[in-house]
């Protein structure tokens, strides 16, 4: 069975500082990986995704993530954060079947709350 671990429940950071939100997954098969962002009192919005190919994935709002198969990680990074990046971030994984299609549903991590201070 797949699982997702977000190693930090809360990450406080000052404005314009770099940030990394960590995500590790467990799966015995190939996966698709996603990061979602949830602003206060809103639903989840897709930030970026890794399907195949280049391990460095760029998303919206200046975020990027790197897929590391050997480390089973998919950490999210931004070189300089803004106050408006304050939100909760969710990592998610879905396993792929033998013929490449996804099996089952998305499995979500428990979320990391990013708090950007002035």
Partner 1 sequence: DVKVTQSSRYLVKRTGEKVFLECVQDMDHENMFWYRQDPGLGLRLIYFSYDVKMKEKGDIPEGYSVSREKKERFSLILESASTNQTSMYLCASKIGDDSYGYTFGSGTRLTVV
Judged by CB under 8 A, does residue 3 bind partner 1? Answer: no
Report in angstroms how near the CB of residue 49 gets to partner 1 at its nearest. Answer: 6
Which letter does DSSP use for residue 17 in this model? -
Size of the site for partner 1 (CB under 8 A): 22
Report in angstroms how near the CB of residue 1 gets to partner 1 at its nearest. Answer: 11
Please, are residues 77 and 20 in contact by the beta-carbon 8 Å criterion?
Answer: yes
**DSSP reduced 3-state for 22:** coil
Closer to partner 1 at the Cβ: 72 or 94? 94
Please, are residues 65 and 55 in contact by the beta-carbon 8 Å criterion?
Answer: no
Report in angstroms how near the CB of residue 26 gets to partner 1 at its nearest. Answer: 16
Report the C-alpha dihedral over residues 97, 99, 105, 106, rounded to 10 degrees.
90
Residues forming a β-bridge with 115: 12
Residues that bind partner 1 (CB under 8 A): 9, 32, 34, 36, 41-46, 49, 51, 90, 94, 101-102, 105-106, 108-111
């Amino acid at each position: 069975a797949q699982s997702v671990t977000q190693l930090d429940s809360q990450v406080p950071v000052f404005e314009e500082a770099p940030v990394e939100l960590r995500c590790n997954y467990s799966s015995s098969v190939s996966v698709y990986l996603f990061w979602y962002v949830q602003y206060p009192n809103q639903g989840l919005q897709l930030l970026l995704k890794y399907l195949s190919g280049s391990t460095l994935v760029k998303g919206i709002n200046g975020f990027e993530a790197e897929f590391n198969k050997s480390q089973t990680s998919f950490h999210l990074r931004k070189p300089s954060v803004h106050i408006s990046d304050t939100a909760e971030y969710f990592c998610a994984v879905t396993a792929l079947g033998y013929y490449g299609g996804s099996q089952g549903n998305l499995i979500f991590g428990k979320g990391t709350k990013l708090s950007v201070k002035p």
